């Protein structure tokens, strides 16, 4: 019997099942025999004791403060599986473009960080240095790939920490690895949204400009741009905000995860979007402030060494290290809060908290501690 039965699965009496550890199928979507219904109006919503003293959140509908506190507690109780893994993954992914760019710079095949003023005046130089453009693109791609991996790992850790289980980094990786390609596919699909919207807006604006003039084309572009932005935000929040959690914890495919995210987010759009924006802005602002010293090293080296080969190398290295630190700090926290949002909507819509308490009680009667059992394929190790 799984520790997170899908809504609609009847929980057997404590003596009828082995209180084994949490399994991956436990987060499955509701079964067809028992349709999902919102949390009963008379259900208690006050503070409820968590199933174990190590649980990071109370098993009830979560508020913003609960999510902040739960994310911090998860990271504090699992520093290696959150911050440590995030730093290592970002370092590995960002080291590849950093080393490649450094070698290109040392061989003289990478353009300058800034254009030469004399060459600009003579019209023989590009208006922008090529090094920052190439570096920015490669850093963005590497950070995106690292974020995919870290998000999957953090979601696993948060899900277990919410019921008082501690998941080590190796076990989190074992659970997440089979889903990485689907996570990457989900990231690509969600990333295509703004690209397609931008292409449509630009194409229509250019066509209108050619047919009706610059003023009409500009106004058309502004109106369409605002509309496209609103549409992309709405579509992403409904279909993709919770989809990574669904994919990782419920084992769904890309399309099924997006549909399930739409179902879970119904009626919670503004709450989900507001919390996500607040958490993201806060986390990345703090991470950027912490990484400022590394960025200053690159700026100082540019002033001291000039825009020569070694000055360029030091700037590229410092920028990538800054991205490593920023990603290692922000991504686990944002991912943890999104995972808690997923748990929250399942508690509100599907009564997940009741089933989690039942499973926690069975584990307690079976004599298993907060670290999870050692038997079974999915037990934390």
| DSSP-derived secondary structure for 105-121 | HHTT-S--SS--HHHHH
pLDDT value for 321: 85
Low-confidence stretches of the chain (pLDDT < 70) are 1-53, 104-135, 301-311, 360, 363-364, 366-381
Residue with tokens 């990574």: 244
Q: State the pLDDT at residue 87.
A: 93
pLDDT single digits (tens) 121-151: 555 555 455 666 666 787 788 888 999 999 9
Predicted confidence at residue 234, as pLDDT, reads 96
Main-chain phi, psi angles of 339, to 5 degrees: -60, -40
Burial 213-241 (b: 16+ CB within 10 A, else e): eeeebeebbeebeeebeeebeeebbbbbb
Number of residues that this document lists for the chain: 381
Say what the pLDDT of residue 176 is: 93
Question: What's 241's DSSP letter?
Answer: S
Instruction: Output the pLDDT for position 368.
Output: 47
109 — phi, psi (to 5°)? -95, -5
What's the rounded Cα separation, in Å, for the pair 373 and 165?
9
Q: What are 340's two structure tokens?
A: 């808690």
Cα-atom radius of gyration of the chain, to the nearest Å? 24
**SS3 (DSSP) at 50:** coil
Can you tell me whether residue 82 is helix, strand or coil?
Answer: helix
pLDDT value for 308: 61
Q: Which residues of 105-144 are buried (b: 16+ CB within 10 A; e: fewer)?
A: beeeebbbbebeeeeeeeeebeeebebbebbeebbeebbe
Model confidence pLDDT, tens digit, residues 307-340: 566 667 777 778 888 888 888 999 999 999 999 9
């Amino acid at each position: 019997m799984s520790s997170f039965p899908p809504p609609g699965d009847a929980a057997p009496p404590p003596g009828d099942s082995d209180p084994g550890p949490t399994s991956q199928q436990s987060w499955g979507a509701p079964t067809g025999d028992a349709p999902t219904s919102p949390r009963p109006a008379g259900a208690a919503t006050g503070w409820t004791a968590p199933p174990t003293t190590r649980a990071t959140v109370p098993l009830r509908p979560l508020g913003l403060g609960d999510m902040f506190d739960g994310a911090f507690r998860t990271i504090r109780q699992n520093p290696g599986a959150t911050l440590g893994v995030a730093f290592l993954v970002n370092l590995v992914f960002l080291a590849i473009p950093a080393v490649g760019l450094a070698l290109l710079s040392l061989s003289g095949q990478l353009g300058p960080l800034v254009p030469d003023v004399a060459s600009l005046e003579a019209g023989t130089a590009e208006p922008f240095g090529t090094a920052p453009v190439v570096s920015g693109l490669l850093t963005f791609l590497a950070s995106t790939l690292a974020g995919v991996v870290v998000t999957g790992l953090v979601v696993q850790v948060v899900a277990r920490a919410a019921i008082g289980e501690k998941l080590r980094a190796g076990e989190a990786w074992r659970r997440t690895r089979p889903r990485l390609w689907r996570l990457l596919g989900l990231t690509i699909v969600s990333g295509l949204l703004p690209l397609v919207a931008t292409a449509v807006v630009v194409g229509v604006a250019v066509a209108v400009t050619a047919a009706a003039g610059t003023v009409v084309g500009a106004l058309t572009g502004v109106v369409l741009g605002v509309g496209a932005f609103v549409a992309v935000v709405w579509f992403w929040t409904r279909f993709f905000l919770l989809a990574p959690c669904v994919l990782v914890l419920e084992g769904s495919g890309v399309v099924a995860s997006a549909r399930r995210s739409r179902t879970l987010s119904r009626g919670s759009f503004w709450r989900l979007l507001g919390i996500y924006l607040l958490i993201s802005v806060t986390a990345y602002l703090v991470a950027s402030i912490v990484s400022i010293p590394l960025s200053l090293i690159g700026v100082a080296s540019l002033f001291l060494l000039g825009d020569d080969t070694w000055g360029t190398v030091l700037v590229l290295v410092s920028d990538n290290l800054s991205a490593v630190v920023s990603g290692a700090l922000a991504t686990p926290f944002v991912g943890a809060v999104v995972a808690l949002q997923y748990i929250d909507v399942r508690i509100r819509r599907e009564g997940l908290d009741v089933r989690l308490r039942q499973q926690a009680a069975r584990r307690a009667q079976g004599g298993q501690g907060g670290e999870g059992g050692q038997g079974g394929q999915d037990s934390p190790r």
